[in-house]
Amino acid sequence: MIQVVEHARGEGPYAVGAALAAAGLPYRICRTWAGEPVPDSVEGLAGLVVMGGPMAAYEDFPGRSAELALLVAALEAEVPVLGVCLGAQLLAVAAGGAGRPGSGTQVGWSDVRMTPAATSDPLFAAVPERLRVLHWHSDTMDLPAGATLLASCERYPVQAFRVGGSAWGMQFHLEADKATVDAFVAAFPEEAAIAPGLLESAPIELAAVAPHRDGVFERFAAFVADRAEQTATRAFFTHRAATWEERFAADGPRYTAAVERIGLRPGQRALDVGCGTGRALPALRAQVGDEGVVLGADLTPAMLTAARREGRAEVALLLVADATRLPLATGAVDGIFSAGLVDHVPDPAAALREWARVTAPGGVLLLFHPSGRAERAARHGRPLDPADLLAEENLRPALRAADWDLVHYEDATHHFLARAVRLHP
């Protein structure tokens, strides 16, 4: 689900909504102008779109604090964000920048110029160097450190920007279609009067900008869709990361005991994929010694931040990485430890193949969970599922298809453990 925040009647998602709908992406609108509460979490969100409005990002208004908190959470979890006008200013504030009054009202059709950085941007790369767009604002913003400026104009230099790799802000109204212009003119007639002929010229102006407008929003929709699974994972774990170690502190000895079963030698190379806060990393380091290599990979940056807080960066190199697309060479490791991950990735077969790719022939894969299958099923109030990937009759052929040989299998009351060996090509 994509969350749209709407601040004023008539300032809806317009072309953004059309692109999301065309891509088959459902969205819901929070109408703050009607008193609807802003969601208090990004969990379950595939994306966040924050529209414009007559408020000021630097002054309090109903829902402002909640919106900023939601934007901060989205940035932390790398949930894709699109902010328009006021939404762009709020994004800048949430990221550490500032909103402020501008040099006067900018209303009407005029050019913005793309910066060199736009040529490699996921949304703006195909946009021409000059683009004539609809402006309707009097405030502006100071970008946070590290933000990338994508479009500018002489009067208001900050017109489009990106924060990190998944959040975009646009001061201008690229979302505009004919209904948008009609609604703005009706809602703000005094501001519309600043730009004579604005309404009459709209059909020609919109026809010129439409292919580029639609392309930007189609690419945003594709960006959201392509990383929906990753977004769901990060949104779930990010706000839990700070207390993860404390919540599961009792599992530490089980992890240590499990790592002992992997059987690596001093000087070898170990990877904990889906390492979380890195509970297995000290035991892996103890096994391969100072001359060995230990890597911890996780999709959620907040989990690795928690791992660093626990001192795990002192015993391992921590990587932000997708378990199905590891940034490692073929045969780069001698052993992989993975706890509670393989049956939760979107494509377990692809994950097992990728883990086989990065493991040298004869290397080891140890799948672990600190609870047995029956214990977990009972905890969730459901019976054991015959289709469960971790059932031996399902896991063995799945491993074999990915060039692993299952050599040991334990589904005990208080732990699950499967050890497999990488087959020679």
Tell me the CA distances in angstroms from 334 to 224, 327, 337, one per residue in order.
Answer: 35, 16, 10
Cα distance between residue 234 and residue 211, in whole Å: 33
Bridge partners, residue 140, by sequence: 100
Yes or no: say if 280 and 216 are a contact pair by the CB < 8 Å rule. no
**Strands (DSSP E) found in 301-348:** 317-320, 333-339
**CA 419/CA 365 separation, integer angstroms:** 6
CA nearest to 339, candidates 400, 399, 266, 257: 257
Cα 16 from Cα 22, distance rounded (Å): 10
Task: Please tell me which residue in 85, 245, 354, 415 is annotated as part of the active site.
Answer: 85
Q: Which residues of 283-299 are buried (b: 16+ CB within 10 A; e: fewer)?
A: bbbebbeeebbbbbbbb
Q: Where are the alpha helices (DSSP H) in 95-164?
A: none
CA 370: distance to chain centroid?
A: 28
Dihedral-angle region of residue 309 (phi above 0 means left; psi in -120 to 50 means alpha; beta otherwise)? alpha
Catalytic residue among 175, 191, 245, 354, which?
A: 175
Residue of 7, 173, 369, 415 with catalytic role: 173
Q: Give dist(CA 307, CA 6) in Å, integer.
A: 38
Coil, strand or helix at 32: helix
Cβ–Cβ under 8 Å, residues 223 and 181: no
Rounded to whole angstroms, the Cα distance separating 381 from 139 reads 54
Active site residue 173: yes
Phi/psi for 279 (5° steps) reads: -60, -30
Strand blocks (E) in 85-211: 98-114, 130-142, 148-152, 160-163, 167-170
SS3 183: helix
The verdict on whether 191 is a catalytic residue reads: no
Look up 212 and say whether it is catalytic: no
Active site members: 85, 173, 175
